Amino acid sequence: MRVLVIGGGGREHALVWKISQSPKVTEVFCAPGNAGTATIATNVPIPADQIDQLLQFAEENEIGLTVVGPEQPLVMGIVDRFQEKGLRIFGPSARAAELEGSKAFSKNIMKKYGLLTAEYEIFTSHEKARKYFDEETGPIVVKASGLAAGKGVILCQNAQEGRDAVDTIMKDKSFGEAGDEVVIEEFLEGPEVSVLAFTDGNTVLLMDSAQDHKAALDGDKGPNTGGMGAYSPAPVFTDILRQKVRDKIMFPLVRAMKAEGRPYKGILYAGLMLTKHGPKILEFNARFGDPETQPLLVRMESDIVPLFEACVDGTLDQCDLQWKPESSVCVVMAAKGYPGSYEKGKEIFELDEAGALPDVVVFHAGTKLEDGKVLTNGGRVLGVTATGPDTASAIAKAYEAVGKIKWDGIHYRTDIGARDKK
């Protein structure tokens, strides 16, 4: 079977890497891909949001399964378009993907069906959103409702910071149209954990846990990013918590979406805060997380392709999911300045040396090939991922590899996984 992976980041390199190991697969394509996917798949120069071109490519090249990485084409309706043409594609429909495409929609679904989340209010008026802070004084969270590449969340310590955040999102349009509507919500405290699951609209099959590091700087300081690293499993996510999340969050959400006439198939990603009152939902995403996918997939023992097919076919109840006992850590190497402005086109050195280390895989994100050289081509450039018998050894291997890689203007956190270094 020929498989097409849509996207060009670290998540997509990890998906191509895992899919290419399946005995069911004869050839893998990646659109648009990056310098890393080019080593194990055929890159196709079609952007992820060009649905007509992607559809034409899939038809002309007899693609047996398409796997969608990023959220934008999902929200745009790529799954609906492919299915109309009789093509098999893994991911939620446009109406189901609104769970990520609109934080306001997502929060309202949670409220309607009694899913535990932060208290919130929704605003489409800049003036009314600012006025909210005339009476609100404590820590608060301001979110752009639309898609903002994981960066549209601002944590505010007081009312003035809240008003500034509203200005940034709604007036300055720092996240574009994503900020036409904002969600202002209660500030939750506790460790965060990412829980991803396969679902065919009825059955929910949870993956192992992972923990992401969103902030740009060590010690969880600085602005939010798309993710500066992740590790798996997260020891804080106990078996008891896992059962509770499955029974009280994931299953009820899938049932709710079905009741709303928006049956959900694909990856369901829950970002959770483990508060003193139990797990509460920060957000739902409609696809694999990035960088959580990288440490998860290097630990996944099972062939991933039958799971994709079962979600498409509605037969997930016949599947199970096996995990390697090792721990894994992914350290994101970013361009200097990320998540703000940064330069592209810097040559990257010693990639082969880093990738040759035992138990290390260097996943590419923002890279491109040019005249035989690998150049930086994005904010998050690489996801250096390592496995080990425990978190501490995986961390050591990952940072040994990180230390070998060079380019002009590297930025990375030095404390990925440190909160659970055992």
CATH at residue 232: 3.30.470.20
pLDDT for res 144: 93
Average pLDDT, rounded, for the chain:
95
Confidence band (pLDDT; 50, 70, 90) for 421? low
Same domain membership, residue 19 and residue 38 = yes
Same domain membership, residue 169 and residue 211 = no
Q: What is the pTM of this model?
A: 0.93
pLDDT for res 138: 80
CATH code (residue 68): 3.40.50.20
Same domain membership, residue 294 and residue 399 = no
Q: What is the mean pLDDT of residues 65-81?
A: 97
Q: What is the mean pLDDT of residues 260-280?
A: 95
Instruction: Give SS3 for 216.
Output: strand
CA nearest 283: which of 167, 156, 152? Answer: 152
Same domain membership, residue 149 and residue 42 = no
Whether the per-residue pLDDT at 145 is higher than 60: the answer is yes
- Of residues 146 and 349, more confidence is placed in 349
Same domain membership, residue 212 and residue 304 = yes
Q: What is the mean pLDDT of residues 72-89?
A: 98
CATH code (residue 158): 3.30.1490.20
CA nearest 298: which of 348, 214, 254, 360? Answer: 360
Nearest-angstrom CA–CA distance, 415 and 393 = 14
Lowest mean pLDDT among 117-121, 269-273, 327-331, 416-420: 416-420
Token pair belonging to 127: 């003036």
Residue 129 lies in a domain: yes
Same domain membership, residue 258 and residue 238 = yes
> Per residue in 103-138, pLDDT tens?
999 999 999 999 999 899 999 999 999 999 988 778
Same domain membership, residue 263 and residue 214 = yes
Residue at token pair 């970002």? 271
> Per residue in 285-335, pLDDT tens?
999 999 999 999 999 999 999 999 999 999 999 999 999 999 999 999 999
Same domain membership, residue 84 and residue 44 = yes
Residue 103 lies in a domain: no
Same domain membership, residue 297 and residue 198 = yes
Whether the per-residue pLDDT at 419 is higher than 90: the answer is no
Residues 6 or more apart whose Cβ sits within 8 Å of residue 323: 208, 299, 300, 301
Residue 6 lies in a domain: yes
Determine the structural domain holding residue 247 and report its residue range. Answer: 192-318
Overall number of domains in the chain: 4
- CA dihedral sign of residues 180, 185, 187, 191: negative
pLDDT for res 152: 87
Same domain membership, residue 203 and residue 273 = yes
> Residue 60 class from Cβ within 10 Å (0-12 exposed, 13-18 middle, 19+ buried)?
exposed
pLDDT for res 379: 96
Confidence band (pLDDT; 50, 70, 90) for 420? low
Whether the per-residue pLDDT at 422 is higher than 60: the answer is no
Paired strand residues for 43: 30
